[in-house]
Amino acid sequence: MSNNELFSEQEQENFKTEIFENDEAHQQASKLGFFDCNLLFNALGIVDNAFELKDENNDMKFVARAGDFKQAIGIELKRSLNTKWQFKNLDGQRCLVCDEEKKIILFASANDALGHSESQVTSASPKGIKTKEKIHKNYGSYNDKNSFKTWICFYPSRKDIRYLQEDRSQLKIELTFPTSYTIVKEAGIDKYLVKNHLIRIILNNQNYNNDFDPKLRKPSPELTTSSTITEEDLPINLKAG
């Protein structure tokens, strides 16, 4: 494993992440021009209930979950009559884009640090070259009003410990502004884990009446062949990057 920090050693030593949590996180997201982030939890609830109804012999259901989540978000945006944010293909990557706010959102299931401000959040699996290129452009561009900024929406992996808890309203979703990445090798190919987030907006579920049906609840899946399939297993023209 090697690092591409994009920071000087001095900057790296002094690097600090601005963190917002709970109600303050939702307020900050609004100030930064994002949509009502409660709809992310609406979408997650739809996706998880559908996921749990899929037969365990469906070895692509873990791959499909990422696409299902983005589809549900798109539907929730239409329901909210929000036309500023739309899914677009950018450099072969399906992204949620707001031209007015000059923001791009990529989506990734998160590692165990999701929602824990003291730990470094990143994706559950390394991402591809298109993600790396967008993150590289983030460095030094935060105050540039003319450049698009790439944010990551980290949502909980099905292995998130909170899926084993009785109250799933404790699940977290994060919006982060990453400025660097760690390079990892997979079958001799460089992959990337985003890191050094200038901002972490740690969102809670404010939809108190949007709980999950406990009759559909199952334990987090064991590590099986199907759960090791990620978007990186898809053909290049289908990868999210």
Average pLDDT in the 70-82 region? 95
Res. 114: pLDDT tops 90: yes
Element (H, E) at 65: helix 61-79
Beta bridge partners of residue 95, listed in sequence order: 88
> In Å, what is the CA distance from 90 to each residue of 87, 96, 140, 150, 218?
9, 10, 21, 11, 36
What is residue 103's predicted lDDT score, i.e. its pLDDT? 96
What is residue 13's predicted lDDT score, i.e. its pLDDT? 54
What is residue 213's predicted lDDT score, i.e. its pLDDT? 47
Token representation of residue 191? 């992959």
Name which residue leads in pLDDT, 72 or 140.
72
166-223 pLDDT per residue, tens: 777 889 999 999 999 999 999 899 999 999 999 999 999 987 655 444 444 454 454 4
Q: Residue ranges of the domains in the chain? A: 2-238
8-45 pLDDT per residue, tens: 555 555 568 999 999 999 999 999 999 999 999 999 99
User: What's the pLDDT band for 1 if we cut at 50, 70, 90?
Assistant: very low
Res. 165: pLDDT tops 90: no
What is residue 141's predicted lDDT score, i.e. its pLDDT? 76
What is residue 229's predicted lDDT score, i.e. its pLDDT? 52
d(C-alpha 134, C-alpha 214), whole Å: 39
